[in-house]
Amino acid sequence: MDTTSLRQDRAARFRTGFIAGLAAGAAASGVMLLLNVVFGSISLPEAFGSELTALMPAAMFDFLHQLIGGDAKHYLFYGILVGQCLVFALSGGLYNLVMERARAMFGLPATEQVEPGQEQAGSSRVLVPALHMYDGLLLASALWLLAGLVLLPLTGAGIFGAQLSAGPIDGLLSLGVVGLVFGLLFVLVQNQLTQGTQSGSETRPEAEASRREARRTLLKRGVLVVGAGLLGVAGWHFITDGLSAPVLSVTRLVKQYKNKIVPPPVPNYGEITPAPYLSPEVTPNDQYYVVSKNLFSDPSVDSNNWRLTVSGEVSQPFTLTYKQLLALPMQKQYESMMCVSNEVGGEYMSNALWEGVRLADLLQSAGVKPGATKVVFRAVDDYSDSIHLTKALEPTTLLAVHMNGATLPGGHGFPARMLVPGIYGMKHCKWITQIEVINYDYQGYWQQRGWSDAAPVRLTARIDTPLTGTAVRAGKVTFIAGVAFSGNRGISEVDVSTDGGQNWQRATLKKPLSGLTWVLWEFPWQVPAKAGSYNVAVRAIDLEGNVQDPNVAPPAPDGSSGYHSIAMTVL
Ligand SMILES: Nc1nc2c(c(=O)[nH]1)N[C@H]1C(S)=C(S)[C@@H](COP(=O)(O)O)O[C@H]1N2
Ligand SMILES: [Mo]
């Protein structure tokens, strides 16, 4: 046999294995996700996504977040999933090559099989070996060991995911099942591929040419679709960024503005006119923003099996069932939350009436030992974060079980979540299972990825209505309205500028539901006679007299700053 046909043989073997591996890999990945959703089993894409975000500098994460928005984590997940399918495919292709070598080395007879469309009249060239079930088992075992002993430890999840809450037994079993599904399907699909088309009528060169042609068009189309998608996203962001460019000049103009006013302004509370798009003061549960690190699925916890332990630097560690927790004295409070990755003017900010147990009460029952400095929260999804003991003992730091009068919804952390007013949402640990008092420094999930540990909410204000780009008639009154939020320092004043930050006028504030919530504000704008485009901006002052920071900063690592502004047209 000449070297060209040898090379062609090997290419054909690899190709068939690759295709069979891809098909089997897609199915096996599906099984992996199913096990993850149903049993909370290990999902390799989650482990890799988590590791990727850990390696990614916060600024890069931020950039991706801005480029593809809140869907970033889904794209990351699907990207990794596709990568996983390709690894499966590659392992299929390589298996065929390696096995061929092994067969040749040990002088084993190869079974006569031909690649689809490759058969030639009168030729019995062996191209692709027929596979046996033990081939599937062998490949499955190899991948199983690779995932458990190399890949998972690489992501920091430990051998077979020993460090994850699902545990190593789950890792051994679930990865075993996924491996078996892959191995057996690989054998079936490859044999199907090599057997199904024995009666090809095309002659070899023609078939080869048309296949090559088909592959080329497929590749071209793929490149086109991906390229067009990327261009579209980039273009869209260029356009929307272009619209908000005046923000820059606003901030330059007001840079000299004092950043603390003493004494702070007295709030001018009044009536707020309901306007379309203005946020409801209390966000309904199904509209409350949702953020989690979990790329694919959030935990769904069975409250019968759920336990909460309070442990660490305490004299009497204890464990509570859900029932026991519900029986403890509860406190209700309105509190707004904002995600640290919220852009100025962004959507990751909401308000609810929460009910829960004071963390201070739990810690008192446990008896905090002298020398303790921090409290760590750990959750079902291997998330963790910590707060300082002084923060933990504040009377508004709650372990919440109810949200707007309803049982805490799954997406918001059922059965219980932390509420830590004044600091960003990331410290509000959902699906919590452990409260550990410690006497050393601890950096949580997002802190290990470069985000702020103290994480105080940065004063911000958002224009909800009208929507940017709205056109209004000269001479009319238009209600400009929105929300302002400072964490737990209240709001004393909100100012609106309709001339790019040169002149500011005070907005009316709605008296807030508590000192921990956002404040609704409204400014009735007497639309000027002069037609043209107007830049409308907003800024806030908290009850301590701190003025909102006009300097534009991205969310990473301390939370975004700058003034929100919209474009309006006067007709
Ligand atoms: N267990 C767990 N808790 C978590 C997170 C998470 O990924 N896992 N995300 C945090 C982040 S970044 C935010 S902003 C809030 C969001 O809470 P929400 O979805 O109820 O609005 O939850 C926090 N608590
Ligand atoms: Mo967040």
- Which residue's CA is the closest to the ligand 1 atom numbered 20? 412
Residues in the chain: 571
Could you tell me if the CB of 301 is within 6 A of ligand 1? no
As a whole-number percent, the residues of the chain with pLDDT over 70 amount to 85
CA of 347 to the centre of ligand 1 (A): 15
Question: How buried is 217 (Cβ within 10 angstroms: 0-12 exposed, 13-18 middle, 19+ buried)?
Answer: exposed
Pocket test for ligand 1, best of 341, 376, 428 (most atoms within 8 A of CB): 428
CA of 316 to the centre of ligand 1 (A): 29
The structure tokens 């005046």 sit at 246
Biggest CA–CA distance in the chain, Å, is 98
Asked whether residue 237 carries a pLDDT value surpassing 50, the answer given is no
Per the structure block, which two tokens stand in for 22? Answer: 């891809």
CA of 341 to the centre of ligand 2 (A): 6
DSSP characters over 192-252 = HHHHTTTT--S-HHHHHHHHHHHHHHHHHHHHHHHHHHHHHHHHHHHHHHHHTTHHHHHHH
Could you tell me if the CB of 161 is within 6 A of ligand 1? no
Asked whether residue 124 carries a pLDDT value surpassing 60, the answer given is no
Closest ligand to residue 298's CA: 1
CA of 340 to the centre of ligand 2 (A): 5
Could you tell me if the CB of 429 is within 6 A of ligand 1? yes
The rounded distance, in Å, linking the Cα atoms of 483 and 277 is 11
What would the pLDDT profile of 366-380 be if each residue is shown by its tens digit?
999 999 999 999 999
What's the average model confidence in pLDDT over 189-211?
Answer: 62
Q: Who contacts 395 (Cβ-Cβ below 8 Å, separation ≥6)?
A: 331, 358, 360
Asked whether residue 257 carries a pLDDT value surpassing 80, the answer given is no
Q: What is the pLDDT of residue 314?
A: 98
88 or 52, which is more confident?
88
What's the average model confidence in pLDDT over 109-123?
Answer: 50
CA of 427 to the centre of ligand 1 (A): 8
- On whether the CB atoms of residues 384 and 447 are closer than 8 A, the answer is no
- On whether the CB atoms of residues 432 and 417 are closer than 8 A, the answer is yes
- Ligand 1 atom showing the smallest separation from residue 381 Cα: 1
| pLDDT band at 113; cut points 50, 70, 90 | low
Could you tell me if the CB of 416 is within 6 A of ligand 1? no
CA of 426 to the centre of ligand 2 (A): 4
| pLDDT band at 2; cut points 50, 70, 90 | low
Per the structure block, which two tokens stand in for 410? Answer: 């799954």
What would the pLDDT profile of 282-332 be if each residue is shown by its tens digit?
999 999 999 999 988 899 999 999 999 999 999 999 999 999 999 999 999
The rounded distance, in Å, linking the Cα atoms of 283 and 336 is 9
Residue 166 is which amino acid?
A
Could you tell me if the CB of 379 is within 6 A of ligand 1? yes
| pLDDT band at 201; cut points 50, 70, 90 | very low
Considering only CA atoms, give the Rg of the chain.
Answer: 30
Could you tell me if the CB of 358 is within 6 A of ligand 1? no
CA of 292 to the centre of ligand 2 (A): 7
CA of 208 to the centre of ligand 1 (A): 54
Query: For all residues of the chain together, what is the average pLDDT?
Result: 86
Q: What is the pLDDT of residue 259?
A: 73
Asked whether residue 482 carries a pLDDT value surpassing 90, the answer given is yes
- On whether the CB atoms of residues 521 and 481 are closer than 8 A, the answer is yes
The residues that bridge with 537 in the sheet, in sequence order, are 497, 565
Could you tell me if the CB of 381 is within 6 A of ligand 1? yes
Asked whether residue 233 carries a pLDDT value surpassing 50, the answer given is no
Could you tell me if the CB of 428 is within 6 A of ligand 1? yes
Asked whether residue 253 carries a pLDDT value surpassing 50, the answer given is no
Collect residues with CB below 5 Å from ion ligand 2. 291, 339, 425-426
Per the structure block, which two tokens stand in for 84? Answer: 């996983």
Q: What is the pLDDT of residue 252?
A: 38
CA of 425 to the centre of ligand 2 (A): 5
| pLDDT band at 221; cut points 50, 70, 90 | very low
Asked whether residue 224 carries a pLDDT value surpassing 70, the answer given is no
CA of 411 to the centre of ligand 1 (A): 9
Backbone angles phi, psi at 388, to 5 degrees: -75, 150
Neighbours of 85 (CB within 10 A): 20
The rounded distance, in Å, linking the Cα atoms of 451 and 340 is 8
- Which residue's CA is the closest to the ligand 1 atom numbered 21? 290
Could you tell me if the CB of 412 is within 6 A of ligand 1? yes
Q: What is the pLDDT of residue 401?
A: 98
What would the pLDDT profile of 73-105 be if each residue is shown by its tens digit?
788 888 889 999 999 999 999 999 998 888 788
Pocket test for ligand 1, best of 62, 339, 408 (most atoms within 8 A of CB): 339
The structure tokens 């008296």 sit at 511
Could you tell me if the CB of 289 is within 6 A of ligand 1? yes
3-state secondary structure 265-326: CCCCECCCCCCCCCCCCCCCHHHCCCCCCCCCCCCCCCCCCCEEEEEECECCCEEEEHHHHH
The rounded distance, in Å, linking the Cα atoms of 247 and 500 is 8
Asked whether residue 358 carries a pLDDT value surpassing 90, the answer given is yes
- On whether the CB atoms of residues 333 and 275 are closer than 8 A, the answer is no
C-alpha torsion 452→455→457→460, nearest 10:
-10
Q: What is the pLDDT of residue 210?
A: 60
Q: Who contacts 48 (Cβ-Cβ below 8 Å, separation ≥6)?
A: 80, 83, 84, 151, 155
- On whether the CB atoms of residues 480 and 566 are closer than 8 A, the answer is no
Q: What is the pLDDT of residue 207?
A: 57
Residue 314 is which amino acid?
V
Pocket test for ligand 1, best of 398, 430, 453, 560 (most atoms within 8 A of CB): 430
- Ligand 1 atom showing the smallest separation from residue 292 Cα: 7
Averaging pLDDT over each range in 79-93, 143-157, 342-356, which range is the top one?
342-356
